Structure 1
Amino acid sequence: MKLSRKGFLKASAATGLFAAGAASTKPALNAFSTKTEASQENVEQGEWIASVCQGCTAWCAVQVYRIDGRATKVRGNPNAKANHGHSCVRSHIGLQQVYDPDRVKQPMKRTNPNKGRDEDPEFVPISWEEAMDTIAEKIIELRENNETHKFSVWRGRYTSNNGILYGNLPKIIGSPNNISHSSICAESEKFGRYYTERYWGYADYDHEKALYEIFWGGDPIATNRQVPHTASIWGELSDRATLACVDPRFSTTAAKSDEWMPVIPGEDGAIASAIAHVILTEGLWYKPFVGDFTDGQNRFVEGEDVDEDDFEEIQTHGLVKWWNLELKDKTPEWAAERSGIEADQIYRVARGFANAAPKAISFSSPGSSMTIRGGYTAMTQAALNGLVGSADNEGGVISNGISVPNNGFPDPDDYIDEIAANGLEQERIDWGGRLELPALKDSASGGVKVTNTVADAVLAEDPYNLKVVLSYWTNFNFSNQGTDRWDRALAKIPFMVHMTVNPAEQTHFADIVLPVPHSQFERQSPVAGSNGNLHRHLHLQNRVIESPFDIRVDETEIPWMLGEALEKKGFSNLIDYFRNEFRDPETGDAPTNAAEFDEIATKHFTHPVWDPTFEKDGDQIDGWEEYKRLGTWNTNRYEFRQKWDGNWGTETGQFEFYSETLKAALQDHADKHNVSIDDVMEATFNTVRGDGAFVPHYEPAKRVGDESEYPLIFMEHRSKLNREARSANTSWYQEFKDIDLGDEAWDDVAKLNPKDAAELGIENGDMVRLVTPEGQIEVKAKLWEGTRPGVVAKCYGQGHWAYGHIASLDRRRQIARGGNNNIILAPVHEALSGSGARHGGQTRVRVEKV
């Protein structure tokens, strides 16, 4: 890039926020260079700089090769034990993102007061000072009117510094409304593990020792978490272990497994219950973990109740209750009628899984549990790990939060005045904790912030409308089901600030647009990654390159600048908190400006891992500079069976098949609303009543749309290339899209089984309209036997109408490349966990030839 930083800003001012849209299918790509041959003068002159890829929730440590100030190549960080030096394709796509000519280049403000999809925002450049002054003025107005609760911070992906902007800033201003994206990501999966063994988080898996694995709606060598680790170990794993994949789509994992079970979407729970039934009736449970009948005689006989006194449990609680309430009639023949999987295959998988005990993994994922009744599906999948003794055991599943030392951030209580305190007492905007939406994180009613209800709350002004929103790393009117609701809600919010790398669909409704760094290349931030390869870690993103754009770091620099602007208007609490409570761990100095605050906040949070005087179980690092060079700190390898012998943390202290932990949580929620637990079950669309609510059990799929009008089931999946739908404006994403089985490069296809296509008179390559009760999109039909009959499968990530000249066919005319699945997905929830119900065929669809 020969264009200077000043030149970039000048060009931005002249052309506005967005680059011109491209009318062609494959736009000209000359943003980087017009040369046809690479220069050799910089060979061997670069250096590797540590950073972090945040293309998914694995948050892998990587290294970036820098030559003459440019990022040119990415690889896994060899110092990282979770991904042991590997990275996946997502980290490489980041190179095209950071140098994307369609990026936001400087602060912008809206000049058209009217908001709507059809309204031109008429953005014009402004200074950072004007942007901060405008935002501060809006916040002061809320304080003067005692409406601080109508302020909200929305968070998408984030770093470990999020506790500043997302955590403490809204508290000091006086709002309970910090809204995360998490509930549209995976909370139902966490629900299953929590109410069997009390762990709310992502599990880790001992792939190195496992002998059998069942993947429920997951594609772990392509998407989900830990892809570099799983993919790198897959060859050895598949040589040693038997692998079964339960998925309506022939995924990459299914293609490389021993068993593919193309289940009817949403009916995974029937298979899981039937597997448990086989394990018990055939006496295959892992007795050293579960226990046995007192006389050694197996009394688990189909259709017959068992006396609880006849069975003595060791590490578990409630096995006989689970049998009597749920499993005694759940035969493979019963499951075959509901799941579409033959009974013989269910028997075979159940026996193989149990015979591998305790080195057998039931791998739960959002694909099978993010359904309207999916919390109980996730519980059943988690319970299988208890039956075979693989929970917290070698060759099994680690559902335990490995401790990573960090300092957190100082308590803001001394800076919360009476106005803010009153605002914090108001009901949250997201409805979490209401009767019909328990959102039971950590057993607390409303513990989960329910993202997708915010649009409904704003539209209904229930409990009130939001007036000022700061939103970062988000694109909620693209990434939430029911996008039209979000468009209308965003148009109704009087003042919204969008902090973003690229202009996107949400930017279209913003009043202020603030350019921020690309996480992988342009900022210094800590990232506490999830478990992986039996380690946990605290990575460090380094500022690999100096951006040519006029950017500020969203979680640190922008809050500091806002604090200064608020101080000028008479409210100094925020900036006082930053100045008084943060100190450089090395020098003791307080920050005096935004850049210093950014570094001090990162050093403060990570201090325990790089200061050798702190005692810790993990890597020994000698100082801040060495930590910056290494880019990661790793825990010691996890030691198994830490939760055994009464340390599960549940109400009983045991691994719970009958969940006293869930029972207590549901009772608290029911008492909060003066109703019974049965009333809660009815309000949350679950069919179970009585004690059955406390055991893992089968719930039939509930779908939106009448079968006679919408005869097929729609299911979506993720791409190997998706950086959480942020990849679509790169040519690499589009050019290599066909590495996703059944997909096409530079296109967006709906994959139909040839049998269904023949009945509909649809041929390969026809343009079709996918119609649901929620909306409609037009895409190309792809006849593909890898889709189960009766199902329409489509990848998520295309359909951007405001993301750039590659993601859109024509940005100026808002013509999308393909269709956004969220336009046609109904905005429904797995209410117990608060998770969005976007998988498992929740929405029925009709396919029409265009």
Structure 2
Amino acid sequence: MHIRRRDFIKASAAAGALLTVGCSPKMNALQPAAGNAAHETGEAPGEWVASTCQGCTTWCPIEIFVQNGRAVKVRGNQHSLANNGYCCPRGHLLLQQIYDPDRIKVPMKRTNPKKARGEDPRFVPISWDEAMDTIADKIMELRNNQETHKYLLMRGRYSDHNYLLYDYLTKLIGSPNNISHSSICAEVEKFGAYYTQGYWGYRDYDLDKMKYLIVWGCDPISSNRQVPNAIRKLNNLLANGKVIAIDPRMSNTAAKAHRWLPIKPSEDGALATAMAHVILTGGNWHKEFVGDFKDGQNRFVSGRTVNEEDFRENLTNGLVKWWNLEIKDRTPAWAAGITGIDEMTIIEVARGLAAAAPHCGVWYGPHMQPRGSYAVFAIHALNGLVGAVDSEGGVITYQSSPYSSLPKFDAYQDELAKAGTKNKKIDHRGTLAFPALNKKSGGGVVTNNVANGILAEDPYEIKMAVGYFNNFNFAGTEAKRWDQALAKIPFFVHIVPMLAEMSQFADIVLPSTLHHSEQWAIIRSAANTYGHTSIQQPVVKPLFEAKAPETEYVWLLAEKLKAKGFPNIYEYLHNEFADPETGKKPQNSVEFSLFATKIRSRKAWDPKENADYKGDRVEGWEAFRQRGVINSPAFKPRTLWEKGFPTETKKFEFYSETLKKVLIEHAEKHKVSVDEVLKVTNYEVSGERAFVPHYEPPLRHGDRTTYPFDLIDMKSRFNREGRSANLPWYYTFKKCDPGDLVEDDVIQLNPADAARLGIQEGDRVQVSSVIGSLIVRARLWEGVQPGTAAKCYGQGHWAYGRVAARDFKKFEPRGANFNEIMPEEYDRLTGATARNGGYTGVSIKKI
């Protein structure tokens, strides 16, 4: 019964055949239905069923066309105002994801005790009953030894039910260690908006009424957020306004923009502060929002300080302080020498932004650089200078949409669990070196540092871990640390739809349903000035023995723990989650999943619960299930202008009292000064400048003599949150990522650099950093500036299936995963993983 890697594909196909006979759809998503061979797709009887994509964090409402139980086509939900009934390429890719032949069919357990990359786990199939019994035993062992804090939950992609598995279950067991994936892929960008305007979250953009857009370090029509909306709206903005792209490489947006500014990596803060200098010295700030000099005479002159008493601010705080501390000396001439953008271009772009105020905005991306917090701080301050914040045609906050709270679990948490949750977290958030600021010290997460905490047993050993919909030892930088950490954990459970690198270190692997097509949940998100609550439901029957991690797994585990003498979790689920329509209590995992969804979405469909809601309304659960989405009212401009911002000063803060308060609290907690905090966290700033947006010189790994190239990590428009590399369509359309090639994985080099190194198109080259080397094919392309090298994230899997790997049987990757040679580094103020901005220096040579 042992299943070796070389036999996995064969065994998977056989298991799939056995399990699909007479009960599940065939694996070919586009095959004509039986008895309708003459019909084209869409002509046979079928129906559109509502769901939500989740290919990125836009979480677009979609509809899937189902014929004879088989999903055959995808489109945006026709009722959705967030995406106006459209979806991007990621949405269409989900068809191949559903019917991926390498999906896990049954639960499996490891029989090879040795854990390492290249080591065959020798998985054998087991039943769900045996799997859950084993997992429950391990939890009871922790409880009996009063070591519940040594349980770890690692979350990847999630639905609105994540609270049940990620939060509530972890706390009911008795652990503080619920670890989100979020700081591996985001977080830094939220810093800019929070410490100026008090909003921690992703921003929305009023593209219909916008006249001037700067897209900075991201690619909205390809890979950032709100992709369908950006694709649809950009054409009008290009025709009737201006689009400027600031990026070291030519992205899809840059290729269409009126101007592309190929900035040197990690020099974003220099350009942002210089643009602020231009706006202020030119007298072009938005005076209705910001204010003006009392006598109307502009005193912002290069190099000169200004008396704060001479300026009367309206809705902002500390503009003159910001000028005196930072901006007065940040001239375009100074920035030109640093950024690689010429002086006149800086002046023209800054003036263009200000001239369109307030119908303008800066759309900025993650900027996950070692010192990225202050870069996005400076960039978002530009939105404040031109009055684009919370303004018509500007940059706005997400609109909320209706949802109901899940039942409270506190009464079911025993004293052992309460004591366990008081332990320190394994990711070191809130420590001196990792402030992980959110709204407070330690309010964020330091996902990539979890590997270090496990390896060092700091603050304690992790004895059991559960991960779902994640693959940290592929997605985390300096990835070998994760291999070592996962090998160290005595018992690890991975809940995923298909095997991944992380699965290779698991003791039990459980087959997961897919969010978008096989399970019950809701999703809340926003785009196009509307918020939405959208449904996820079983569009098709779950394939094989897959179950929903956040609901069904939780229920099954609760049943087992009850049988072993720990009934608290089962009693919570059974007693508190009654069907809102009938009052029936759940009797099994499927009913629990459905009832939890109805409870969580109740304010979206129950007229008794949402009588005052001003957005879309439906009459009852069934109407909501069929429609699939509830839209909020449209964004109301200038609400914050009238009510005040949720900051310490109730204003938009150029001098951030909000940041000052949090940094002082963090420093006092560790009995040091703020300057010492910043020094330990690798920033160069000190004194009062720490509380204003300012320029930080780049932090780089690798001296330029040995490692002359700045590595640029870019994202593909085909990455479904990193889970599409085993899909053939990913490779078929890969050239839609600018500079990339169909059916290949390449590193993009400027032709001038390539000529100097004797490298020609298609040559195999060795790319080396201070921690290792990888081999990849060279692509000569003028879309990257000299001195940089760009590589798309997503390929290089060695354990992801027959398409993603070159040889799945032998652990041979297809392409290269540059996370393996990107040194572990962080933006420590937020806890985010550094992965872009050229912080990794590399050398390149032909082999």
CA deviation map 1:693-751 (0-9, x unaligned): 00011111111112121111001111111112211111100111011111011110000
Q: CA deviation at 1:14?
A: 9.6
Q: Distance in 2 between matches of 1:487 and 1:402?
A: 40
- 1:801-827 per-position Cα deviation (integer Å, ceiling 9, x unaligned): 000111111001111110012111111
Change in Cα spacing, 1:102 to 1:337, as seen in structure 2 (3 Å) is: same
CA distance in 1 between counterparts of 2:58 and 2:73 reads 20
Distance 1:187 1:36 in 2: 44
Q: Which amino acid aligns with 1:656?
A: E
| 2:379 partner letter | Q
Equivalent of 1:781, from 761, 778, 785? 778
Unaligned runs of 5+ in 1: 1-10, 21-29
Q: Which residue of 2 aligns with 1:383?
A: 381
- Asked if residue 725 in structure 1 is aligned to residue 717 in structure 2, the reply is no
Contact 2:205–2:528 (CA<8 Å) still a contact in 1?
yes
Q: Tell me the residue number matched to 1:825.
A: 822
Q: Note closer, same or farther for the CA distance 1:701–1:14 as it changes in structure 2 (3 Å cut).
A: closer
Is 2:466–2:492's contact at 8 Å kept on the other side of the alignment? yes
Residue among 632, 638, 643 paired with 1:641: 638
**CA distance in 1: counterparts of 2:703 and 2:9, whole angstroms:** 51
- After superposition, the CA RMSD in angstroms is 1.7
Q: Is this contact kept in 1: 2:29–2:95, CA < 8 A?
A: no
Kept in 2: contact 1:537–1:633 (CA 8 A): yes
Note if 1:245 corresponds to 2:242.
no
Equivalent in the alignment of 2:479: 483
Distance in 2, matches of 1:645 and 1:621, equals 32
Matched with 1:552 is 547
The 5 A counterparts of 1:347-366 are: 347-366=347-366
Name the counterpart of 1:686: 683
Is the 8 Å Cα contact of residues 361 and 396 (structure 1) preserved in structure 2? yes
Distance in 2 between the 1:661 and 1:214 partners? 26
Task: Report which stretch shifted further, 659-668 or 574-583.
Answer: 574-583
Look up the equivalent residue of 1:849 and give its one-letter code. K
Gap change, CA 1:144 and 1:674, over 3 Å in 2: same
Deviates more, 1:243-252 or 1:41-50: 41-50
Q: Is the 8 A contact 1:73 1:95 kept in 2?
A: yes
- Aligned sequence identity (%): 51
Distance 2:32 2:548 in 1: 35
1:480-629 superposed matches below 5 A: 480-529=476-525, 531-613=526-608, 614=610, 615-629=612-626
Deviation at 1:521, TM superposition (A): 1.2
CA offset digits 1:406-439 (Å, max 9, x no partner): 2221221111111111111110000111111101
Q: CA deviation at 1:644?
A: 1.1
Equivalence for 2:648: 651
- Partner Cα distance (2:825, 2:664) in 1: 24
| 1:218 alignment partner in structure 2 | 218
Matched, 1:448 2:444: yes
- Name the CA shift for 1:646/1:45 in 2 (closer, same or farther; >3 Å): closer
For residues 361-393 of structure 1, give each alpha carbon's deviation from its aligned partner in whole angstroms, at most 9, with x where no partner exists: 011111xx2101110111111110110011000
Alpha-carbon distance between aligned partners in 1 of 2:29 and 2:201, rounded to the nearest angstrom: 44
Note the C-alpha offset of 1:646: 5.2
1:297 aligned counterpart, secondary structure: coil
Q: Distance in 2 between matches of 1:454 and 1:775?
A: 22
In the alignment, which residue of structure 1 is the partner of 2:426? 429
1:261 is matched with: 261
SS at match of 1:780: strand
Change beyond 3 A, Cα 1:287–1:407: same
Question: What secondary structure sits across from 1:691 in the alignment?
Answer: helix
Instruction: Quickly say closer, same or farther: Cα 1:296–1:329, change in 2 above 3 A.
Output: same
Which residue of the partner structure matches residue 182 of structure 1? Answer: 182
Cα distance in 2 between the residues matched to 1:425 and 1:51: 38
The answer to whether the 8 Å contact 1:18/1:104 transfers is: no
Q: Secondary structure at the match of 1:72?
A: strand
Q: Distance in 1 between matches of 2:768 and 2:629?
A: 47
Q: Which secondary structure state, in structure 1, belongs to the residue aligned with residue 537 of structure 2?
A: strand
Distance 2:227 2:163 in 1: 27
Amino acid of the residue matched to residue 512 of structure 1?
A: I
TM-fit CA distance, 1:32: 2.6
SS of the residue 2:549 aligns to: coil
Size of the alignment, in residue pairs? 826
CA contact (8 A) 2:30 2:72 kept: no
Alignment partners' CA distance in 1, 2:249 and 2:498: 32
Q: Distance in 2 between matches of 1:678 and 1:585?
A: 54
Question: C-alpha distance in 2, partners of 1:786/1:18?
Answer: 42
Q: CA deviation at 1:122?
A: 0.4
Helix, strand or coil: the match of 2:335?
helix
* Alignment match, 2:766: 769
Deviation at 1:617, TM superposition (A): 2.2
**8 Å CA contact retained: 1:315, 1:646:** no
Q: How far apart are the structure 1 equivalents of 2:662 and 2:67? A: 55
Alignment-mate amino acid for residue 386 of structure 1: G
Note if contact 1:19-1:101 (Cα within 8 Å) is conserved in structure 2.
no
C-alpha distance in 1 between matches for 2:667 and 2:99: 52
What's the counterpart of residue 4 of structure 1? none
- The residue type equivalent to 1:521 in the other structure is S
Answer yes or no: is the 8 Å Cα contact 2:9–2:102 preserved in 1.
no
1:153 counterpart residue number: 153
Please report the TM-score for the alignment, with normalisation by the length of structure 2.
Answer: 0.96
Q: Which residue of 2 aligns with 1:471?
A: 467
Per the normalisation by structure 1, the TM-score is 0.95
Residue 31 of structure 1 and its aligned partner are, at CA, apart by 6.0
SS of equivalent to 2:207: coil
Secondary structure in structure 2 of the residue aligned to 1:556? helix
Is the 2:29–2:99 contact (alpha carbons within 8 Å) kept by the matching residues of 1?
Answer: no
* Equivalent AA in structure 2 for residue 537 of structure 1: H
User: Residues 575-601 of structure 1, C-alpha deviation per residue, up to 9 Å, x if partnerless?
Assistant: 111011111111112111111100000
State whether residues 71 and 545 of structure 1, in contact with CA within 8 Å, keep that contact through their aligned partners in structure 2: yes
CA–CA distance in structure 2, aligned partners of residues 18 and 464 of structure 1: 42
Give runs of aligned pairs for residues 226-375 of structure 1, distance below 5 A: 226-366=226-366, 369-375=367-373
Q: Secondary structure at the match of 1:328?
A: helix
Q: Take 2:552 and 2:333, find their aligned partners in 1: how far apart are those partners?
A: 60
Change (3 A) 1:583 1:329: same
CA deviation digits over 1:512-544, x for unaligned, max 9? 100011111111211112x21101111001211
Distance in 1 (alpha carbons) for counterparts of 2:87 and 2:552: 29
C-alpha separation between the residues in 1 aligned to 2:698 and 2:718?
A: 30
User: Mean alpha-carbon deviation: is it higher for 774-783 or for 403-412?
Assistant: 403-412
Alignment partner of 2:832 out of 822, 832, 835: 835
1:57 partner amino acid: T
Deviations along 1:88-120, whole A, 9 cap, x unmatched? 000110100110100001100001111111221
1:250–1:554 CA distance, 2 compared to 1 (3 A): same
Q: Deviations over 1:43-96 (max 9, x none)?
A: 240110001101000000010000000000000101111111110000110100
**How big is each residue's C-alpha offset from its partner over 1:520-579, in whole Å with a ceiling of 9 and x where there is no partner?**
1111211112x2110111100121101331111110000000000011110011111101
Alignment of 1:72-91 (within 5 A): 72-91=72-91
Answering whether residue 393 of structure 2 is matched by residue 395 of structure 1, we say yes
Opposite residue 152 of structure 1, the aligned amino acid is L
User: What is the CA distance between 1:467 and its match in structure 2?
Assistant: 1.0
Equivalent residues of 1:64, 1:74 under 8 A apart = yes
Partner-residue secondary structure (3-state), 2:208 = coil
Q: 1:120 maps to what in 2?
A: 120
SS in 1 for 2:756: helix
Query: What amino acid is the match of 2:553?
Result: I
Asked whether the equivalents of residues 79 and 630 of structure 1 are also in contact (C-alpha less than 8 Å), the reply is yes
Per-residue deviation at 1:237?
Answer: 1.2
Rate the CA distance shift 1:646–1:80 in 2: closer, same or farther, 3 A: closer
